[in-house]
Structure 1
């Protein structure tokens, strides 16, 4: 046997083992075969790099299954835990894997190829991945928190009541059927349709939440929900009200806040639904089992009528709410056509002027609306003591001056605001409870109480409207010969929040411009007093008549008054100041009548609506007091069969009529003969 191979005398370079490189240190010239081998090695190396990057991405996705999802993240064909593995057909896994894993693989390739040799890619995504690698547990916990918050946000939106007094913990401890159905849809859909469905659902849920918030606000102020057909016009009035109450700067800030809130609700709701959809897609089996289990619980609760503290555990409030909104839209559109026909019918539409109001000929008649003068003012235990004391004192002054009064109740067509609806209902004899009806009736020729005075030709008819700050074409519909708005009353003092001038000044201007002058006809007047308009701060004070002047004297009074923001957001303070404002308005009116009233003066005064729910209560009636005051006893004798209460304060058991019934009762009581329009 030869010993050449193992000879210790050979050079080291000639000794080799199977694991050692025996390639000569000075390679010979490349051959075609060598070049091919080198090229294949380079391609293999590149392939290995790409494979490593893709594997890193897959490992990262597995580490954060419950963590933050990224749109388009691949759904794993293999479960993270062995107990999750279930046999599935290849065709069920392949489409999702091919559709969803490819983008991550491409991103991994791009990151590996774009980064300089030996350096990690310095990009936000890469930084986020490095943070997850270092803090895997924290990342997983953060992901769970975000998922839970997204689920809570969606459930709150689905279960939110539309009235503030219905909020309670029990309302949110229910199972919304809409969430169960939505989860089933998102689980079943492939990736791209799922994303589209999630975005649409999120935007829809955001819009529904905004509408629910509008409902809450409308119930607080107007005692009714938001009408998606009619109520958009009210936002312009709301803006004007904010400017009068908060100033221009405060109003701009409030509007910016409202817009930001709407955008935030839409964005957060959309992101929440996307989040839940992605988490369920990555955990399809678990999500399916959970959805089926929750759906079964919902069906059981619904069948047995189970409940915890009030509302049923099986909730379907969102479906009912959407259905209610659709019903209201249909009813609104149907009502518009029906009311147009109703407005053309008029029991006194063709009555000649000489057959109208024969029982009031020769009388100066004053119709006065006191803003927000509602039943709560004389019955609420926190408000009534001061108002009742004022009514008692002023009733005594009236009797001493030779006047008498009778009082009853009317149910207003509006609540908390929209005073013009109450005014038009009272004067037209039609139930005008929305803006469409108001536009319809004021565009027509339906006879109003004030219009009846004008038709007789026996009265001069005027309006004192301090709340109107621009042209008011409706004055013609009401049959007024002349309307004095805020620009024509000569006031040079400060505004009192929304109210352009104190009631005492408005009545003083009425005496100067019309009532104190000699006319060849008696005077019929419509006066709207505004000092009791919310937010009830600052409130004017009664001063001697000879000091009123052009109103400049009120500057110091306004400065000394309360700030609207200090009153409006505090229910107790709002009640207190509201009561004071009613006392001021009633005092101003009765003081005027006692001083300037004549033997032929007849005063009809009433509230146009109740104050908002914060003051009157969440379940308050819409009733308002109404009084007729006269020195001539025969005027009150003509309404003796109405069974009203003697004095300025109606008895709680006095008759309650709908406000639209007053016109016909009044016209009939004072000698008008019905002659219906054809």
Structure 2
């Protein structure tokens, strides 16, 4: 029994110390991170030693629950840094768990998603209980051995202060650690900053240089053109610069540049910096279209309930275009759609698709383009179109991937049944990082090829295509520190369309090079409206 007691105490001590020293990023999970002196442990023991029995027990339980919650917060930060390149926001990010559950449901099925959610809930509960019991056990131990615990605590505190004063380090980390206290402070500051940001952003959203522009002065340089804004899911700068992916992607882009040139189209490219990475496509879309930096869900709610002029709504206000949205990723009610000024929105239920889902993607990109042609672009005697098209085949988990088909083969999409069945299983792909990167690259190639093939088949002298990535893929693909830049390209047949953006100094072709201009994504709307307004392109 004594051996079991000693073992239990040792495990409790290890659990508490590891919880106190746990970093909030996967890249910081090194042995050195757990060989430091946590100041919270010293302070906690000292506090328990001076408290009377009943308050001591209450304080031990409260400390255990708090440490358990901080540990969970650290794990959430790890996941958010790995996927979204930022820490978890304890106020604004809870809505993302609904999206995560939907993603699991679409990727591994309803049963698998339910199992995953149950497993996470049980692990969270178990972690809270174990850490709380561990703190209570260690508190009792310290109380029983006061004659040892008190001087040991004093010595440990003295050593901590000395190490902090001289900057002692282990594995390039401060030996005197205060990670849990720092996490509490940073989380508190984050909540406070979020509340302040809401008020500040609401004021910024009311300032709009184009709010009162008369409709007949908007987009005069594009009258009569059929303009498409296409977002390619997860098309990031890493796709064109990462040595493991760039050779194939850039060869594809170069080939498509030549194909467009032979069809009479020219193209220019650059980079935009997205407010998000890894996920959060709607934040990138809204940033691009509103000219506001939409970096979190609170900003998204604020701007989509305002009267901010969006790029798409600018076309609608002129009454010179019919404005439509092709939204294959939308599978349920989307009330924000009205904000963007689209006359009609075709979601996944309205595209006529009778084929299978490709993991998360409800509709293959080439089918979306074919549906756009059938439902809108191919109609006779119509008004010029302004179309927002969201391409989703390059969405995580990047398997299975559709194939490019002849346009007359696509039909109602049932042709994709055999293609989907013969594709790769995402669960198998995700066992190996290089396989993930390969399939990500292939998905980007498929999406861009779908766009360019459509332009070749159905584009004409009035076609103007702007396509861009919404954000970088997650760190599984890019590694850490990849940044948030995404490629953007403009394709047009009419030379005047390109002449109007000559002073942008974008690079020829679909491949932006390392020295291509980089703008923040929220700067595009105003520059585009200026370039294609009455004075844009003036020489």
Which TM-score applies when normalising by structure 2?
A: 0.98
- Structure 2 match to 1:316: 178
TM-aligned CA deviation for residue 335 of structure 1: 0.7
Runs of 4+ in 1 over 3 A off after TM superposition: none
Asked which structure has the greater CA Rg, the reply is 1
Cα distance between partner residues in 2 of 1:557 and 1:198: 59
Structure 2 gap segments, 5+ residues each: none
Cα separation, 1, equivalents of 2:334 and 2:135: 49
Please state whether the residue corresponding to 2:460 is helix, strand or coil. coil
Aligned match of 1:3? none
2:237 is aligned with 1:380: no
Where do 1:294-313 residues align within 5 Å? Answer: 294-313=156-175
Q: How many residue pairs get matched?
A: 536
- The answer to whether the 8 Å contact 1:351/1:673 transfers is no
Name the residue aligned to 1:329.
191
- Cα distance, 1:386 vs. partner? 1.6
Say which of 213, 217, 236 aligns to 2:79: 217
CA displacement, residues 573-630 of structure 1 (integer Å, 9 cap, x when unaligned): 1111100000000111100001100001000000000000111111111000000000
Quote the offset at 1:570 in angstroms: 2.8
Match in the other structure for 1:545? 407
| Separation (CA, whole Å) in 2 of partners of 1:524 and 1:566 | 40
Range with greater deviation from structure 2 (462-471 or 472-481): 472-481
Unaligned runs of 5+ in 1: 1-138
After superposition, give the CA deviation of every residue in 1:378-405 in whole Å (9 maximum; x if it has no partner). Answer: 0111111221111011111001101000
Pairwise CA distance, 1:673: 7.1
Q: Distance in 2 between matches of 1:374 and 1:269?
A: 40
Which position in structure 2 is the counterpart of 1:443?
305
Q: Which residue of 1 aligns with 2:470?
A: 608
Q: 1:509 aligns with which of 362, 371, 374?
A: 371
Q: Does 1:339 align with 2:230?
A: no
C-alpha displacement of 1:672:
5.2
Deviation at 1:219, TM superposition (A): 1.0
1:274 aligns to 2:274 (yes or no): no
Question: Cα RMSD (Å) of the superposition?
Answer: 1.1
User: What's 2:489 paired with?
Assistant: 627
- 1:285-325 Cα shifts (integer Å, max 9, x gaps): 11112111111111111111001211100001111111000
Matched, 1:660 2:534: no
1:568 Cα offset (Å): 3.0
Distance, in Å, in 1 between the alignment partners of 2:133 and 2:339 is 52
Which residue of the partner structure matches residue 353 of structure 1? 215
| Structure 2 match to 1:287 | 149
State how far apart, in whole Å, the 1-side matches of 2:535 and 2:91 are.
Answer: 39
1:488 aligns with one of 350, 355, 362: 350
Shift of 1:487: 0.6
> Does residue 413 of structure 1 match 2:275?
yes
Measure how far apart 1:569 and its partner are.
4.6
CA distance in 2, matches of 1:623, 1:320: 30
1:141 positional shift? 2.4
Structure 1 residue 142 displacement after superposition: 2.2
1:151 aligns with 2:151: no
Kept after mapping to 2: 8 A contact 1:377/1:383: yes
Contact 1:155 1:179 in 2 (8 A): yes
The aligned counterpart of 2:253 is: 391
Please say if residues 235 and 470 of structure 2, whose CA atoms lie closer than 8 Å, have aligned partners that are also in contact.
Answer: yes
Structure 2 contact 70–183 (Cα < 8 Å) conserved: no
Tell me how far apart the structure 1 counterparts of residues 489 and 381 of structure 2 sit (CA, whole Å).
Answer: 27
Distance 1:623 1:303, change over 3 A: same
For normalisation by structure 1, the TM-score amounts to 0.78
* Higher RCO (CA 8 Å, separation ≥ 6 residues): 2
Equivalents in 2 of 1:668, 1:229: separation in Å?
37
SS of alignment partner, residue 231 of structure 1: coil
